[in-house]
Chain A
Amino acid sequence: MLNIKKLTICLVIMLSFITTNVFASGQEEATMMEEDSKTITVAAGAVGTEFELAQDAAAAYMEMHPDVTVEILQTPDLTTDRLGLYLQFFESQSSEVDLYQIDVIWPGDIAEHLIDLNEYGAKEYTDAHFPSIIQNNTVDNRFVAMPWFTDAGLLYYRTDLLEKYGYNEPPTTWDELEMMAEKVMQGERAAGNQDFWGFVFQGNSYEGLTCDALEWVYSYDGGSIVEPDGTISINNPNAIEALEKAAGWVGTIAPDGVTGFAEEDARNMFQAGNALFMRNWPYAYSLGNSEGSAVKDKFGVSPLPSGKNNIRAASLGGWQLACSKYSKNPELAADVLFFFTSYEQQKKRAIEASYNPTIIDLYEDSEVLEATPFFGTLKDVFTSSVARPSTVTAPQYAQVSKVFYENVHDVLTNESTAERAVKNIELDISDIIE
């Protein structure tokens, strides 16, 4: 009997010890928070040199404001993993992170956790940026994220081969691209390179295909899947024509395996000198010109070809900075945000690591052009960029995009006709966004 009593006492003591400990640490945390209210934490990417660039920017800000500490938090490289992490912060309404680096397709999804930057004086900066991105980042008249750096689809072409086969200019229409690809492919294969193909792109069943297919459809005047006013526009003859065109490339000018290609598969093939044309993002430019690349100084970039009526499209990518609603110090956080996305900072990033600025004037800045001459071509591309319908279909964009790329993939692999696919997409999307 005595033993049991002793044991009970023991347990009670242990339990109380544990609970007081928990309480104590809770209090500690609270006081720590108050002391650190001058700290701004930025959740930023760590792909390539991103992390160092962000730290440089933080150091520059702290030099100007010695009473503020800016900390950079590294986040996962994979986009969905990063979103998963952010959602956990938002779900617990955590004030731990003040600024978030967010993808161009997220503003609609997470707008409710972000402050309206216009209330903190964003108006004076927004005019300098590309309007399509500003529009993309405006949700229900609230401007929730400031563009930081951008991305858009480009056509890469082999200058040496076009010249060799008597072409002076890159193709301006998809038909021209097809023609050139066929001719060069025949010639190169006859010359002995059996692995040579005309055109490579992102044909795997994933978000990348949504970007590529949106460009095809849009350039054929087939709309942007779901229009900004919420109309589902995909079921139209132009869109069908565009998808049929693309399906015709697989196995003719593009390898059969292109239906399993992501960005890096396409780049590897192009960079090894085994493709005439490639659709890819700007990042492939500096890599293609690096030491050891078979196409170093042998390629150029241009806007993607048009399908109809001279429409050229480039799917919009890129990252923004947004400020959390749960931040303890939104005013200061917004100030840090404006500094990070300012002309000087974007210029620095453009020169040091060829990140594409979102400020239009930077594409005419002589120092930027000296460091990365191909930025001159990009201005037109970004001006004609088309946003994926992420803001209008939020928070269901992930589902909408999946429906789109899965059905397009079925067309590319010949499991479905373009006509049936767009019908399916229309029905499915109307179920999702109702």
Chain B
Amino acid sequence: MKNTHHALKKSEQKLAFLLLLPSFIVLFTIAFYPLGSVFTKSFTNERFASSKKTEFVGLENYQKLLSLKIMELDPIGMDEQGSIIYEDPIDILPRKPNRYKEVSQFSIFNKHFVFSATDPDFIQSIGDTLLFTILSVSLETIFGMIIALIMVKNFPGRGGMRVAMLVPWAIPTAVSSKMWEWMFSSTRVGVVNVVSQWFGITNGQFPWLTNADTQIWAMIAIDVWKTTPFMALLIMAGLQTIPKGIYEAAKIDGCNGWQNFWKMTLPMVKDTITVALVFRTLDALRVFDLFQIVFAQKRYSMASYSYYQLIDNKLMGYSSATSVIIFFIILLFIIIYTKMSGGVNNE
């Protein structure tokens, strides 16, 4: 009896394997083969569309991408206002084998330091993309939640409001990016400058998209505008699964709206929110179109930097190495989320 059971199990396994085989083949050709090829290319100096001989260069690409250095700057004098002038980082940062370039300067305990990297653009693109991801996804979740809570209520004109809410999400990113580029225009052609001049914040001539301090905030604003509807839609779907009865029961028990939200609504849409968060985080980490269209070569997301190295500089090997690093950063986020959502399910 046990034997036949065993044999049956075995043959079923075989069948399962055979049934899965086509999917594995497809998965292998479309996922693992390109990934593996990017991985191997990242150890070479291959050029895109070139007959130049490709050589194995070991970890050179990674070394150039990821070398960081912090050095102390010595004071060399004072200016008229009495603030200390420090030596120019260009003069003290090492130049061989790869030149270190300044990313930023900072002071701790009365000492002044320069933070430098051999590829400051890439380091900055990682920082920018992480900041962009964390802030835009958080804001989208909060605004999405608020909108969803309003939209599930019954009020006159709700259908129309739902359609209006979805408009930003329905516009292709290429179009909305261009639209926002005009709105952020550096003269009073752009509405952002007109409005900020009304309030006396700028003189109507502020270059929002070229000023290093405002660039990322402009990106976040565009993304929040565009993707909040998506968040709201997902959360709304979660809210609609909550049975109305429990709210009536809570009303009888004398709960106020605030308690309702924290003790019932939020825990019951938690899983939906987790799914939405995973989705949006991974999406935001590989953001490409928004940065490419609005900034081109001015500032990069990780993905648009990789594109720049491949297409503009034709450095296939180097670009592959950036892709591999991006892959591991995203993988890290996936692992964190998987651990966290595993915790949710076990509760």
Contact = CB atoms under 8 A, between A and B. Distances in A.
Nearest to B298: A205
Contacts of B311: 80, 83-84, 87
Contacts of A259: 186, 207, 210
Contacts of B19: 7
Contacts of A265: 185-187, 189
A409 B208 CA distance: 14
B296 interface: yes
Contacts of B90: 420, 423-424, 427
Given A206-B296, A255-B205, A420-B88, A395 B47 contact: yes
A230 interface: no
A74 interface: no
A418 interface: no
Given A91-B49, A205-B298, A256-B203, A4 B209 contact: no
B57 to A, nearest CB: 15
A206 B297 contact: yes
A255 B49 contact: no
Interface residues of A, number: 45
Nearest to B21: A11
A50 interface: no
A1 B186 CA distance: 73
B49 A90 contact: yes
B113 interface: no
B207 to A, nearest CB: 4
Contacts of A248: none
Given A256-B207, A269-B187, A110 B297 contact: no
A112 B51 contact: yes
Interface in A211-254: none
A11 B185 contact: no
Given A7-B15, A265-B186, A265-B189, A257 B312 contact: no
Contacts of B48: 87, 91
A398 interface: yes
Nearest to A113: B49
B146 to A, nearest CB: 33
B50 interface: yes
Nearest to A272: B189
B172 interface: no
Contacts of B312: 80, 83, 398-399, 402
A399 B187 contact: no
Interface string A1-30: 101100110010000000000000000000
A13 to B, nearest CB: 13
Given A398-B313, A399-B312, A409-B210, 15 more contacts: A3-B15, A4-B14, A8-B18, A11-B18, A11-B21, A84-B311, A87-B311, A256-B206, A257-B206, A258-B186, A259-B186, A269-B187, A269-B189, A402-B297, A420-B90
Interface of B: 11, 14-15, 18-19, 21-22, 47-51, 88, 90, 95, 98-99, 101, 185-189, 193, 203, 205-212, 296-298, 311-314
Interface of A: 1, 3-4, 7-8, 11, 80, 83-84, 87-88, 90-91, 109-110, 112-113, 195, 204-206, 255-261, 265, 268-269, 395-396, 398-399, 402, 409, 413, 415, 420, 423-424, 427-428, 431
List the 3 closest A-B pairs by CB distance, nearest first. Answer: A260-B186, A257-B186, A260-B207
